[in-house]
Amino acid sequence: MRWPSLALLASMLALPATAQTLRIGIGSDPNVLDPAQSGAFVERVVFTALCDRLLDVGPDLSFRPELATAWEWSEDGRTLRLTLREDGRFHDGTKLDAAAVKINLDRYRTAPESRRKSELRPVESVEAPDPRTLLIHLREPYAPLLSVLSDRAGMILSPTALARLGEKIRDEPICSGPFRLVRRVAQDRIEMEKVPEHWNAANIHIQRLVMQPIPDNTVRLLNLRAGQLDLIERVAPADVPTVQKDTAVKIADSTAIAYELIYFNTTSGALKDPRLRQALELSIDRGIINQVALEGRFVPNNQPEAPGAPYYFEDLAAPPRDVEKAKALLREAGQPAPGFTLLAPNSPVESQVAQIIQAMAGEAGFQVKIETLESAALVARAERGDYDAAFGIWSGRADPDGNIALWIASDGFLNRMGYRNPAVDAAFVAARQINDPAQRRSFYHTAAEHWLAERPMLILYHYRWFWGMRPGVEGFEPSPDGLIRFSGLRPPAN
């Protein structure tokens, strides 16, 4: 990537290493820092510092203003009108206006490298009639659009930088968030600096932000307890009791909309026969996984919405473990001892979960080989179709469509399974065109009846987010989406 200007470097070097610095330990190293190309949760954590979105999501999962200060639907539900703030600016100094937003949305809709196409497929055109007004015209009503604009598809990059860099902007993101990128050392650190001109600068109390990827939960926690980090994400459930007793560390938590899953190569993988996937599910016990690997702190589940949520379906709950029935299915499929490789991230928690599944499935006859990879390498393998089964995490969205369709729909950008079912696709399309929760629920239930029976993926559990921090960190607001908001957040005094 390009180095910043000499003036910017001088300003960074002039700051004492500890002056208003917040050091965050994150769970893995981001793959790409371009919202168009991004597909990993950790990248969303970094983007929250670098890139403002059109809308944000509050702790109650309601939408709230960010780059857009107001929004309104037309009577027919086919046009969304956004009013943009007047004081938005990019890190290169250029003004953020409706024309810039249009350029970004059009790129997300059409660029070869964009992974946002399916999210914005219902958009027919984008219009910028004046600098503060943006009109998004839809081919048909699309209820999830606000949720889409509160995530990567709502992150706005500098058109000047896009014209200069093209898809290489992944290495030098010029965004509009409260921090600008100063330096990135792969697998080591991402350094950022506060943007004094940012519209919310008065509420940003951090001058220097350093994010360090540390995949090992134990190492991440040890660095926090040693004072080398100020804040860490994803404290392992097994470590929570220790942290709670440590006066040098405090913990914050929130019930998550995120879930852990295993997804399958349904076209050429060793488990392409759906009977084998059914047998695998019958061979495992989600409750035991939660108790043994997760200290009983997560929520065992087989659906994208947690039990008790409006779009959770009691009648489609996970089947109980039944090893004998699993063995019968394997015999029926003509594979009494099928072997497959399970790709797992190099995280102690997922590694332990993988080992538990390996042992349970082995009792039914499965021969499971575990291959541990760095997260970006795991995703790359899966996207090439070079896998049998792989762990995944989905951080969750405020709209139910964003919790499942991106994985299961034929055109879903996370559909690495090759799964196709016209009835599921039709149910998703119907649910997106209406706003009535009861009607939408009916369509998502129809979709779930199909995909839960065919099992292109197995959801294992919903998370509970745990963050660890030094006592001097103030203003941290836990959020169900697992992201860190920086407005009002204060680093410890050093």
Q: State the Cα–Cα distance between residues 127 and 158, nearest whole angstrom.
A: 18
| Whether this model's pTM surpasses 0.75 | yes
Give me the percent of the chain exceeding a pLDDT of 70.
96
Residues 7 and 89 in one domain: no
pLDDT at 278 over 60: yes
Residue 135 lies in domain: 36-42+49-170
Which range among 46-50, 393-397, 454-458 shows the weakest confidence by mean pLDDT? 393-397
Report pLDDT digits (tens) over 452-473: 999 999 999 999 999 999 999 9
| Strand residues in 92-201 grouped as ranges (E) | 123-130, 133-138, 179-185, 189-194
| Three-class SS state of 453 | helix
- What pLDDT is stored for residue 271 in this prediction? 98
Which pair of structure tokens corresponds to residue 16? 């004492």
Q: Tell me how long the chain is.
A: 494
Report which of residues 309 and 489 the model is more confident about. Answer: 489
Decide which of 170, 188, 206 is a domain's last residue: 170
Tens digits of per-residue pLDDT, 342-388?
A: 999 998 889 999 999 999 999 999 999 999 999 889 999 999 999 99
160 shares its domain with 184:
no
Say yes or no: 428 and 311 in one domain.
yes
For the beta carbon of residue 53, count every other beta carbon within 10 angstroms. 22
d(CA 53, CA 258): 20
> Pick from 239, 262, 257: which is nearest to 299 by CA?
257
Clarify whether residues 410 and 459 are in a common domain.
yes
Residues 481 and 423 in one domain: no
**CATH assignment at residue 186:** 3.40.190.10
Q: What is the mean pLDDT of the chain?
A: 93
What Cα–Cα distance (Å) separates residue 364 from each residue in 34, 186, 304, 340?
Answer: 43, 42, 26, 14
Contact between 385 and 258 under an 8 Å Cβ cutoff? The reply is no
Rounded-to-integer distance, Cα 413 and Cα 113, Å: 12
| pLDDT of 19 | 59
The pLDDT tens digits of the residues spanning 245-260 come to 999 999 999 889 999 9
Residues 273 and 326 occupy one common structural domain: yes
Any idea what the CATH number is for the domain that residue 157 is in? Answer: 3.90.76.10
Q: Tell me the one-letter amino acid at 58.
A: G
State how far the Cα of 376 lies from the Cα of 438, in Å rounded to an integer.
39
For residues 420 and 342, membership in a common domain is answered with yes
Per residue in 198-208, pLDDT tens?
Answer: 999 999 999 99
Average pLDDT of the residues in 65-71: 98
Span 94-132, pLDDT tens digits: 999 999 999 999 999 999 999 999 889 999 999 999 999
| pLDDT of 85 above 50 | yes
Q: Which of 248, 182, 170 is nearest to 209 (CA)?
A: 182
Query: What is the amino acid identity at position 34?
Result: D
Same domain, 92 and 147: yes
320 and 419 co-located in one domain: yes
Same domain? For 476 and 442 the reply is no
Q: Span 152-159, mean pLDDT?
A: 98
Pairing of strands 21-26, 68-73: unpaired
Interatomic CA distance for residues 399 and 16, integer angstroms: 43
Cα–Cα distance between 22 and 320 in angstroms, integer? 46
Indicate the residue among 105, 135, 170 that finishes a domain.
170
Give the pLDDT band (50/70/90) at residue 16: very low
Do 306 and 421 sit in the same domain of this protein?
yes
DSSP secondary structure of 387-426: -SEEEEEE---SSTHHHHHHHHSTT-TT--S----HHHHH
What is the average pLDDT across 293-300? 94
Tell me, yes or no, whether 157 and 270 share the same domain: no
SS3 state at 384 = helix
Domain boundary among 170, 194, 212: 170
Nearest-5° Cα angle at 410, 392 to 422: 130
pLDDT beyond 90 at 146: yes
Of 277, 249, 276, the closest CA to residue 263 belongs to 277
Task: Report the number of distinct structural domains present in the chain.
Answer: 3
- The band of 288, judged by pLDDT with boundaries at 50, 70 and 90, is very high
DSSP 8-state code for residue 53: B
Whether the CB-CB separation of 81 and 67 falls below 8 Å is answered with no
Structure tokens at 369: 């080989």
